[in-house]
A and B are shown apart, each in its own frame.
Chain A
Amino acid sequence: MGTSAKTIIYDSAKRGSPAIEELRDIFQYRDLIYQFVRRDVVTRYKRSILGIAWTLIQPLGMMVIISLVFSQVFNRVEGYPIYLLSGLITWTFFSQTTSATIHQMVWGGVLLKKIYLPSTAFAVSATGTGLVNLTISLAPLLILAAINHIPLNSSLLFLPVSMLLLATFSLGLGLLISTLAVFFPDIAEMYQVALLGWMYLTPIIYPANVVSEGMRAWFTLNPMYYFIQMMRAPIYEGTLPPLSIIQTGAVIAISTLVIGWIIFSNKSDEFAYRA
């Protein structure tokens, strides 16, 4: 890149493993990822009067309303609003980044047909944008936690690890499903329905102990169960998540990304062929 005197040679007959090539390309285009994330964060509120302040006001308002509504239902749970919101921002991140990735690959492939760029750029930047939004929504949440007398302590320092593993899983799943969705656009619609069902199968709104002992075993098959716990423990309980949760979560996250990345990059040559 840039003004280097080295002659660039591209030979379609001498390409290595698609997954590795894609990794190298996306690293070369890292400034593009930054530009995409910046564009998505900046333009979202650009025409409103309060501008960037909305990134704080909007989640705060939503949090207040949702916690008021559900507090009536689950009034036995101590500090319920924080229990709910710590799970909800995790879920929102997950559903928004995966949906954005799928949407951009299915409907936003226009750029891919115009100029060369690594196809994972869309998924990676959607995840980056999600991380920015998640970080921003942590601020009002922590304020609410303080108001609700939830003790905030040093376990919060673990949050970046939780967020990173959550992002790894979301990116991997987004890549997997968007590969399918490029070939079968119906998958994109099906995924929206699946997301709704998946959300209610995950203990986000209700506490895990409202379901019977036998049912609770099923939670361990739900990947999001681990990431929600990892986000919730430091915020709501003021503790580090159990080691077993971290380990299982890390294995799920990393293997999903590796599988998703390999499948996506092996199919990415065909994306530009799709109408």
Chain B
Amino acid sequence: MNLPTAPDADSMTETSQNDRVVLLENVSVRYRAPEERIRSFKEFAIRFIQRRVRFKEFLALDDINLEIQPGEIFGIIGRNGAGKSTILKVISRVLVPTHGRVWIKGRVSPLLELGAGFHPELTGRENIFLNGALLGHSRQDIQERMDDILEFAELGAFIEAPIRSYSSGMTGRLGFAVASAWEPEILLVDEILSVGDEAFRIKSRKRMEYFRSLNATTVLVTHQMKTVEELCNRVAWIERGKIRIIGQPKEVVKAYLKG
């Protein structure tokens, strides 16, 4: 990771410019909903002209500044609705922030919505192609990884059966197998995965460790303080869309538990 290209030469931040993979600068995500439910375009137009549209604003993220270094396991903790998942959405490009700048270097692999877009009537194999394409992979790319995906998902002959005949464990295994078939540079995880049985969990953990050995960066959102202390290099505590503290896991967890 020593490519000092100058995409951020004009950046306002002072830190070394090549040693980071994620940069959030003054990032805010503001949801704006009309205060009263306006049901039709006509009503909206009339009110808009009369300047009677009042918006209720909700800041899901409020001026977040964050940098993540390559190879780090970066934890995000906080109460429900604090904005943890919104940060992951911003990093995975699902949400474009209302304000601020998102800078990301490397392929982002969201292990968030396993099996997104799976269609129950299609076979496991057909769904691999569909799900793989949704994750941005070409048909050829998927073909190349097919053997690996099949082996990892352990579905045997079921791979030719429609997914509606699968147990939830089988669907989860297939989703994980596809999502993790490509070596990511940045891994987004919302809670440690608990897909499949114990054997499969060990196997998926091994795969994540393998990614780490390739210097992949992990952003981990979790409620389990034990996981945070054991795994993370640094942790951010988010409250009401703002960062309360960033620092060493022990200190941050301690402060968080105190409230």
A residues adjacent to B (C-beta < 8 A): 1-3, 7-14, 28-29, 31-32, 34-36, 38-39, 42-43, 46-47, 111-117, 180, 184, 186-187, 269, 272-273, 275
Once A116-B93, A184-B44 are accepted as A-B contacts, the answer to whether A3 and B141 lie under 8 Å apart by CB is yes
- Contact check, A273 vs B31: say whether CB atoms are below 8 A apart: yes
**How many residue pairs, one in A and one in B, have C-beta atoms under 8 Å apart?**
111
Q: In whole angstroms, what is the CA distance A39 to B132 when docked?
A: 13
- Contact check, A12 vs B92: say whether CB atoms are below 8 A apart: no
- What residues on B are CB-neighbors of A28 within 8 Å? 136
Once A11-B101, A43-B122 are accepted as A-B contacts, the answer to whether A273 and B107 lie under 8 Å apart by CB is no
- Contact check, B102 vs A116: say whether CB atoms are below 8 A apart: no
- Contact check, A186 vs B41: say whether CB atoms are below 8 A apart: yes
Once A8-B107, A9-B105 are accepted as A-B contacts, the answer to whether A29 and B41 lie under 8 Å apart by CB is no
Nearest B residue to A42 by beta-carbon distance? B122
Min C-beta distance of B12 to chain A, whole Å: 11
Of B33, B94, B100, B133, most A-chain CB atoms within 10 Å: B133
What are 26 A-B pairs with beta-carbon distances under 8 A?
A: A1-B141, A10-B102, A12-B103, A28-B136, A29-B133, A31-B137, A31-B139, A35-B129, A38-B126, A39-B119, A39-B122, A42-B122, A113-B94, A114-B94, A114-B112, A114-B116, A115-B92, A115-B116, A115-B134, A115-B135, A117-B136, A184-B41, A186-B39, A272-B89, A273-B95, A275-B33
- Contact check, B122 vs A2: say whether CB atoms are below 8 A apart: no
- Contact check, A32 vs B134: say whether CB atoms are below 8 A apart: yes
- Contact check, B139 vs A12: say whether CB atoms are below 8 A apart: no
Q: In whole angstroms, what is the CA distance A12 to B137 when docked?
A: 22
B residues adjacent to A (C-beta < 8 A): 3, 5, 7-8, 31-33, 39-41, 44, 89, 92-97, 100-107, 110, 112-113, 116-117, 119, 121-122, 126, 129-130, 133-141, 162
Q: Which listed residue, A43, A46, A112, A180, touches B94 by the CB 8 Å rule? A: A112
- Contact check, B106 vs A8: say whether CB atoms are below 8 A apart: yes
Q: In whole angstroms, what is the CA distance A115 to B95 when docked?
A: 9
Min C-beta distance of A30 to chain B, whole Å: 8
Q: In whole angstroms, what is the CA distance A47 to B122 when docked?
A: 11
